[in-house]
A and B are shown apart, each in its own frame.
Chain A
Amino acid sequence: MTDFFGIPLPALLGQLLLGLVNGSFYAMLSLGLAVIFGMLNIINFAHGALYMMGAFLAWIGLETLGLNYWTMLLVAPLVVGVLGILIERLLLQWLYKLDHLYGLLLTFGITLVVEGLFRSFYGVSGQPYPVPDALLGATNLGFMVLPNYRAWVVAASLVVCLAVWALIEKTSLGATLRAGTENPRLVQAFGINVPLMITLTYAGGVALAAFAGVLAAPVLQVSPLMGSNLIIVVFAVVVIGGMGSILGSILTGLGLGVIEGLTKVFYPEASNTVVFAIMAVVLLIRPAGLFGKEK
């Protein structure tokens, strides 16, 4: 029989696929964190709150303005991106020369304020967001029935992740960005506006979070607490992958999603902690993370 440690193979394949779906969210969020850390040296704790905001904007757009899912998939990241510009220009830019801790505290404060505001306006039970009509239904893959929406989540996040990676690693704009983080004064001497570049990087990073939020809205209840539930795991993903490593965070995100999925089958009680156990081991063996470089 095609059994694998007592689990039928089709069931196992199904669980692997589900792990990949969750991994897509980890990948997208940790990618944004990694980009922001790489360019700004800021540990952006507000990432979870901005992800939650993306989901809420999708819901608000649908409920009050009648804007559908596809429109909000573009609009929500733009709105959050603009908010990111404000946060960076008004607050973060004063902290670059200080210890990481200050950036962490500031963004943690932003998280508390944003979550508190949403909680007082919308309560904590959360709001339902329907799956868009075009993606309703499910496809029978033989070994499992996969809801079409989940397939779309994997596809969309992979495309976005790869596009961001290509933009940073393979284009001349990306080369300038990377150079700007290595030696901002030299790059500025070439006539390139480094502060502007940094602002836009932050905006882009948080826009990714909002994009992930809109993707998550039909899967999870849109609730003010949805960001803080996820962000700790995402931080662990970034630490495992290596702070600032783009490709590292994408691969680690997907990989950990799959490992978590397997844990849910073999020992469900540990599925929330397995990521942190891996983090501890990785930190012992490779303190800079799997894909990180020692500085």
Chain B
Amino acid sequence: MKSHAMKRVALAAVAACGFGGAAHAQVSGDVVKIGIITDLSGLYADIDGTGGVEAVKMAVADMKGQVAGKKIEVIFADHQNKADVAASKAREWFDTQGVDMLLGGTNSATNLAMAKVAAEKKKPFISIGAGTARLTNEDCTPYTIHYAYDTVALANGTGGAVVKAGGKSWFFLTADYAFGQSLQSDTTAVVQKNGGQVLGSVRHPLSASDFSSFLLQAQSSKAQILGLANAGGDTINAIKAANEFGVTKTMKLAGLLMFINDIHSLGLNLTQGMYMTDSWYWNQSPEARAWARRFFEKMKRMPSSLQAADYSAAMHYLKAVEATKSDDADKVMAEMKKAPVNDFYAKGTIRSDGRGVHDMFLLQVKSPKESTEPWDYFKVVAKIPGDEAFTKLADSKCPLVKK
């Protein structure tokens, strides 16, 4: 009886391998397949999520569903913010689904894991939503592109520009884990380089339910700027409490990792006057507005910078496939690093370390009076040229960079 069951399992395993192999051989020739793995249900689902998937589908639709005479397919999955789920899904897709290019959504840990799998399988991987600069430094690979932004660019943007605008003394409210601490130390370096000073900081646990206590400590520092080195719900609840306790009367808030969705969800009353840095804003140019309107028709909300970057990155990849008439990873990677990015999202290049370099924007949240239409939330205070925003190629720790 037992051996019988085991035989069946073995047979099933053999059959599964056979089908997997067959599917691979069949698919890779006729279809260009783009896979998206992102947070579709958790705390980052609004800034990328299904909206990001829709943006990629818009790019495919704009190519009329075809590239180099082949059909384009899009598949997507939820990584639930778990690195192991992201990695095993990526592996499964490369092995059995014939995915030709992988787009990584939000969450740095999942993106680092996916980048490793993609490098092992020698397939292009474009990270959109991850903040960590490691993707183009210690953990860079010949197949990774980091397209939209990273924590260094955010620190340079917000830290540098706010100090130049007169915000000389800072206090940090920092999420107590690797991401928060690196955001704080990156920004501290920029603030000090620009002649500002950091008066202190307080570390709060991830997903802290109440921030009032930390904010009182920040207030008593008498600093001009409160830097929020946290993300998502923590940032939102900190801003709420800052308003309630009157911290916003004496300090200006600077969100070090925020997206338009955070502003939308808090409302302008609570966020007016805040600074943040982003790679794109839907109202920054006529082309951006035109695309954003199309996105709004589908999703009933304005796109975040990440969703715009999803479209742009998918387009950049498809154009490279078109140009090389091939989905061979090495040829396409070379083409993507050669051809400039020039669309409504950004004008820039992809460097040899995989870093997408383009202008970043320091944004200030409008007051309710200044806002003239729904989602009209930001004034563009400064444009930070790509060369200044991102780590210089000469300073990159990526071994692929020839020095």
Contact = CB atoms under 8 A, between A and B. Distances in A.
Interface of A: 11, 14-15, 18-19, 21-22, 116, 119, 123-128, 130-131, 138, 144-145, 147, 149-150, 219-221, 223, 225, 229-230, 233, 261, 264-265, 268-269, 271-273
Contact of B203 (A220, A221, A269, A273): A269
Contact of A15 (B203, B216, B240): B216
A163 B162 CA distance: 52
Contacts of B244: 131, 147, 149-150, 219
A21 B216 CA distance: 14
Interface of B: 41-46, 176, 202-210, 212-214, 216-217, 220, 232-233, 236-237, 240-241, 244-246, 261-262, 264-267, 269-270
B203 to A, nearest CB: 5
Contacts of B233: 124, 126, 221, 223, 225, 229
Contacts of A264: 204, 213-214
Those 3 A-B pairs whose CB atoms lie nearest each other, nearest first: A272-B205, A125-B265, A264-B213
Given A138-B245, A149-B244, A225-B233, A125 B205 contact: no
B216 A219 contact: no
B213 A18 contact: yes
Contacts of B203: 268-269
B380 to A, nearest CB: 23
Nearest to A146: B245
Contacts of A130: 269
A125 B216 contact: no
A16 to B, nearest CB: 10
B261 A125 contact: yes
A126 B236 contact: yes
B210 A128 contact: no
Contacts of B176: 268-269
Given A229-B207, A268-B204, A128 B261 contact: no
A271 B217 CA distance: 15
Contacts of A272: 205-208
A221 B237 contact: yes
A219 B176 CA distance: 22
B177 to A, nearest CB: 10
Contacts of B267: 128
A125 B214 contact: no
Contact of A271 (B205, B216, B245, B266): B205
A126 B206 CA distance: 17
A220 B237 contact: yes
